[in-house]
Structure 1
Amino acid sequence: MMFYIQKMPNIMNDYFRYFATSPDMDVWGLAVTAAGCTRVRADAPYPPSAHPADHLFGWARGRVLDALQIVLITNGGGRFETKATGLREITAGMAFALLPGVWHRYEPDRRTGWEESWLEVQGPLAARLISHGVFTAEASVRPGVLNAGMEAALEQVHALSRNGPPGFDAPRAAAACAVLAAWERAGREQGRAVSRLMRAVAEAERFLAEHHTEPVDMRELAMRLGVAYSHLRRAFKQDTGFAPWQYVLHLRLARARRLLASSDATLDELAAQLGFNSGFHLSAAFKRAHGVSPQTWRRRLHHP
């Protein structure tokens, strides 16, 4: 891919930039290959003609890309279409994803224009997210992304892209991951109101993170949070990937690994710090999770 940089005239902060791919993309799993933000005024031609030829398109013919793009509309509105979604109205606060190999077309409403903030990524991570259904052709329009933090994440990408180096840049790739995570988070929360249950899950996660070394009665915690234990357990696992007790155990074992690496404390001493009944119970839980005893793990760490 050739390297392009183009600044839009007379519009503060508007820019777009294209980056060369790099072998580091496979090492890190992701690279930003293009990014930009543009204010398209009412009745202005779209898209701007200064884009490279392989990215230009018009409404009549549409376009197919070989990379994953995410486009956030922060003001104004317009329309978006793929064969899977059909024609969709786009309003401020919505984002749409352009999947590699998928025909698409989009444009702002000529009466209002729009403001778009976007990035393009390639790499094994993007391919995995598509293969696992985080991005799909059928659900490539997503509301709720502002609450999920996408605008701030894209601003970080832009801050690193405007004046960054022309090749691969690890901080830029890391910032792009936050954009992808915002898309995924908005998808999980789509159609779910901010309910008492959602607030309870957030409170429970904070409580367990702060008190994971102490005995915790999850049924009592659910009662204090004003939700049924069965509902809290199911929603907690959906949001964190862990049942509540598994989450506590995960935190305890993560801290156990750090203490095994940085201290000479015995298993009984560690168990007392971490909330296990005994060194034996700590050892059994550690071996189930990691396949080796804590003593073996510590020995291998210091004598590889």
Structure 2
Amino acid sequence: MKLFRKYFTLESSPDEPNQGINILNVGHNIHPANHPYPDIQHPNDYYFEWDKGRSLKEYQIIYISKGEGYFEANGLPPQVIEAGTIILLYPGVWHRYRPKETTGWEEYWVGFSGTYAHYLLEQECFNPQNPIIIVGFNTEFLETFSKLIEVIEARGEFFQKLSSFLLIHLLGIVYASVLLSNRKMSRKEEIIDKIRNEIHQNWDKDIDFEALAKGFNLSYIWFRKTFKEVLGTSPNQYHLTFKLRKAEQLIQETNMTLAEIAYRSGFESEFYFSRIFKKKMNYNASDLRRKK
């Protein structure tokens, strides 16, 4: 698979209101295992050496969607970062982070400033001394982030205003995640969260959900009922949606053929993949490929 990196910088336009949000940069990178970090394509203004670390003049949201790594900041013990983690960076706070050599990681990020950003991130629930936020696999968050990158890449009419609204939406999701994280998970939610992580790790494989439930010492009937109660959908539908989102990502970010993507994503044929993609996503996979 082709390694993927997108990085955009922006400047505010005096003719375009930014809703109190000024987006400075946004990007998405798949960093492979056993490669130095940051890689040589990292922008000079944001490049840092691990021994020295860095501090920024802006806020940043960094979302690690896959892989594991480490994060350190002033006044904090070293933190292990897992997939599904947001790192919230504040201006002027020294920090450093990197993926584990054995796993690499996939990262999304957006840098921003502005009066509304400052107001929101100074709320009591946010804290520079507690910058790690666990959101897990959040479909709405990833879709919004991908849309933000798409809007900025296209640079269409009113893109600055639209990108500002998308960032406000992202911040709202982060805000809600922080509030929810302050509420202790129920036992049901803890179990389903662990099972959901298993699905994410094996997204491209056939999953025997009866065997999966048995592995957690659960009855299959209880598992199905509780999964839908907690996540609002059945295990099979959740797995299918996740597979399609990952396939959508491969279409956008690689040069693999649709047949290769279908096979990589665990579908039995390109025809079946294209049919189910159209049914669930409401547009053709081939149309998405032509937009690249």
User: What TM-score bracket applies, with the shorter chain setting the length?
Assistant: 0.5 to 0.7
Q: Does 1:181 align with 2:172?
A: yes
In 1, Cα distance between the equivalents of 2:84 and 2:62? 11
From the superposition, tell whether residues 180 and 148 of structure 1 become closer, same or farther in structure 2 (CA, over 3 Å): farther
Of 79, 90, 93, 1:99 maps to 90
Of 14, 20, 29, 2:11 maps to 20
Larger Rg: 1
The aligned runs of 1:101-120 (5 Å cut-off) are: 101-120=92-111
Q: Deviations over 1:97-148 (max 9, x none)?
A: 1111111100000111000011111111111123323532111001125348
Query: Contact between 1:33 and 1:122, CA under 8 Å: does it hold in 2?
Result: yes
Partner of 1:41: 32
The aligned runs of 1:1-304 (5 Å cut-off) are: 10-12=2-4, 14-23=5-14, 28-144=19-135, 146-147=137-138, 149-164=140-155, 169-193=160-184
Q: Which SS does the other structure have where 2:53 is aligned?
A: coil
Give TM-score, length-normalised by structure 2: 0.58
Q: Which SS does the other structure have where 2:78 is aligned?
A: strand
Query: Contact between 2:18 and 2:160, CA under 8 Å: does it hold in 1?
Result: no
In 1, Cα distance between the equivalents of 2:54 and 2:154? 28
In 2, Cα distance between the equivalents of 1:39 and 1:120? 18
In 1, Cα distance between the equivalents of 2:160 and 2:138? 27
* Aligned-partner residue type, residue 95 of structure 1: I
- Report the more deviating stretch, 70-79 or 156-165: 156-165
In 1, Cα distance between the equivalents of 2:59 and 2:156? 21
In 2, Cα distance between the equivalents of 1:53 and 1:67? 16
In 2, Cα distance between the equivalents of 1:147 and 1:194? 16
**Structure 1 residue 151: Cα displacement:** 1.9
In 2, Cα distance between the equivalents of 1:140 and 1:105? 12
In 2, Cα distance between the equivalents of 1:145 and 1:176? 19
Query: Contact between 1:29 and 1:123, CA under 8 Å: does it hold in 2?
Result: yes
Query: Contact between 2:133 and 2:177, CA under 8 Å: does it hold in 1?
Result: yes
Query: Contact between 2:18 and 2:164, CA under 8 Å: does it hold in 1?
Result: no
Q: Which SS does the other structure have where 1:38 is aligned?
A: strand
Q: Could you say which structure has the greater relative contact order, defined with CA pairs below 8 angstroms and 6 or more residues apart?
A: 2
Q: Which runs of 5+ in 1 are unaligned?
A: 1-8, 199-304
Q: Which SS does the other structure have where 1:127 is aligned?
A: helix
From the superposition, tell whether residues 128 and 63 of structure 1 become closer, same or farther in structure 2 (CA, over 3 Å): same
User: How much is the aligned-residue C-alpha RMSD, in angstroms?
Assistant: 2.7
Query: Contact between 1:80 and 1:107, CA under 8 Å: does it hold in 2?
Result: yes
From the superposition, tell whether residues 165 and 142 of structure 1 become closer, same or farther in structure 2 (CA, over 3 Å): same
Give TM-score, length-normalised by structure 1: 0.56
**Structure 1 residue 166: Cα displacement:** 11
From the superposition, tell whether residues 25 and 66 of structure 1 become closer, same or farther in structure 2 (CA, over 3 Å): farther
* Aligned-partner residue type, residue 127 of structure 1: H
From the superposition, tell whether residues 176 and 87 of structure 1 become closer, same or farther in structure 2 (CA, over 3 Å): same
Q: Which SS does the other structure have where 1:149 is aligned?
A: helix
In 2, Cα distance between the equivalents of 1:104 and 1:166? 36
In 2, Cα distance between the equivalents of 1:25 and 1:103? 32
In 2, Cα distance between the equivalents of 1:43 and 1:155? 26
Task: Report sequence identity in percent.
Answer: 28
Query: Contact between 1:145 and 1:182, CA under 8 Å: does it hold in 2?
Result: no
- Report the more deviating stretch, 52-61 or 128-137: 128-137
In 2, Cα distance between the equivalents of 1:148 and 1:186? 13
Query: Contact between 2:21 and 2:113, CA under 8 Å: does it hold in 1?
Result: yes
